[in-house]
Each structure stands twice: as C-alpha cells, then as structure tokens.
C-alpha cells in the first residue's frame, strides 16, 4: 500500500521554496482488524492468545514510559 502525502509550505524556515510533507490518512484499523490480519496470514496462534499478548505488550510499554 503506497503512503499518500501532501506538500505544504514550511512556515518554520524563511525559504519560500521550502515545503514539508504530511502523511494523508486513507483509512483506519483497530486492534481487532490487526488481530484478524495476523490470523488471515495463516498464524497457528488463535485469537485469544494474540489478544493476550497484545494486552501484555501494551501494559509493558506503559510501564516503560
């Protein structure tokens, strides 16, 4: 999937020919969508296990911040 972007004038610099790229969102996915993608790729791990690991990962990340 290509990354869509748009160019905008960069107001941080004085150069009138300076532009900044901004990613343009073209869709969204929630946690269940990502879990289903993993399952659809032929994973031998079931949905409950994937959800358990992602929940544990989220907690581990929160503890590190």
Backbone angles phi, psi at 8, to 5 degrees: -130, 150
The Cα 51–Cα 43 span in angstroms is 13
Reference 12, options 4, 2, 20, 24; nearest CA is 20
pLDDT at 30: 94
pLDDT digits (tens, 9 = 90+) for 16-40: 899 999 999 988 999 999 999 999 9
pLDDT at 62: 97
The Cα 44–Cα 63 span in angstroms is 29
Say if pTM beats, i.e. exceeds, 0.75. no
Residue 56 is classified by DSSP as H
């Amino acid at each position: 999937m290509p990354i869509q972007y748009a160019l905008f004038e960069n107001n941080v610099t004085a150069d009138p020919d300076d532009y900044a790229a901004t990613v343009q969102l073209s869709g969204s996915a929630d946690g269940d969508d990502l879990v289903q993608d993993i399952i659809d790729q032929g994973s031998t791990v079931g949905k409950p296990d994937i959800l358990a690991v992602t929940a544990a990962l989220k907690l581990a990340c929160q503890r590190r911040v």
